Amino acid sequence: MAEVERAEWFRYWFDSPYYDLLYRDRNQEEADLFVNKLVSFLHPAKNCRMLDLACGKGRYAIALSKMGFNVTGIDLSEKSITIAQKNESSHLEFYIHDMRKPFMVNYYDYIFNLFTSLGYFDNERENNAIVTNIYNALKPGGIFVLDFVNIEKASKNLSEYEEKDIDEVRFLVRRKIIDGFLVKDIKVIDNGMQYDFEEKVQMFTAPLLKQSMEKHGFEVTHTFGDYNLDAFDNESSDRLIIVCKKK
Q: Residues 124, 76, 239, CA angle at the centre, nearest 5°?
A: 60
Whether residue 246 has pLDDT greater than 90: yes
- Inter-axis angle of helices 59-66 and 28-42, nearest 10: 50
The per-residue pLDDT for 7 is: 60
The pLDDT-based confidence of 172 (bands split at 50, 70, 90) is very high
The per-residue pLDDT for 6 is: 46
Domains of the chain: 9-149+204-246 (3.40.50.150), 154-200 (no CATH)
The per-residue pLDDT for 8 is: 84
The per-residue pLDDT for 122 is: 80
Query: Percent of the chain at pLDDT above 70?
Result: 97
The per-residue pLDDT for 28 is: 85
Query: What average pLDDT does the segment 94-121 reach?
Result: 94
- 196-221 pLDDT, tens digit each: 999 999 999 999 999 999 999 999 99
Return d(Cα 246, Cα 225) in angstroms, integer: 22
Query: What average pLDDT does the segment 94-114 reach?
Result: 96
Helices (H), 94-241: 124-137, 151-156, 206-215
Q: Residues 200, 51, 121, CA angle at the centre, nearest 5°?
A: 20
Amino acid identity at 86: K
- 1-17 pLDDT, tens digit each: 344 344 688 888 988 99
Q: Which burial class, exposed, middle or buried, applies to 34 when counting CB atoms under 10 A from its CB (0-12, 13-18, 19+)?
A: buried
The per-residue pLDDT for 123 is: 83
pTM of the model: 0.92
Whether residue 57 has pLDDT greater than 50: yes
Contact 190, 196 (CB under 8 A): no
Counting every residue written for the chain, the total comes to 247
**What pairing do the DSSP bridges indicate for beta strands 70-75 and 92-96?**
parallel
The per-residue pLDDT for 236 is: 97
E-strand stretches of the chain: 2-3, 49-53, 70-75, 92-96, 108-113, 138-149, 161-166, 169-178, 181-190, 193-202, 218-224, 239-246
**What pairing do the DSSP bridges indicate for beta strands 161-166 and 138-149?**
unpaired
Give the 3-state secondary structure of residue 88.
coil
Return d(Cα 27, Cα 59) in angstroms, integer: 8
The per-residue pLDDT for 43 is: 97
DSSP state of 131: H
Give the 3-state secondary structure of residue 227.
coil
Query: What average pLDDT does the segment 163-187 reach?
Result: 96
Query: What average pLDDT does the segment 122-149 reach?
Result: 95
The per-residue pLDDT for 117 is: 87
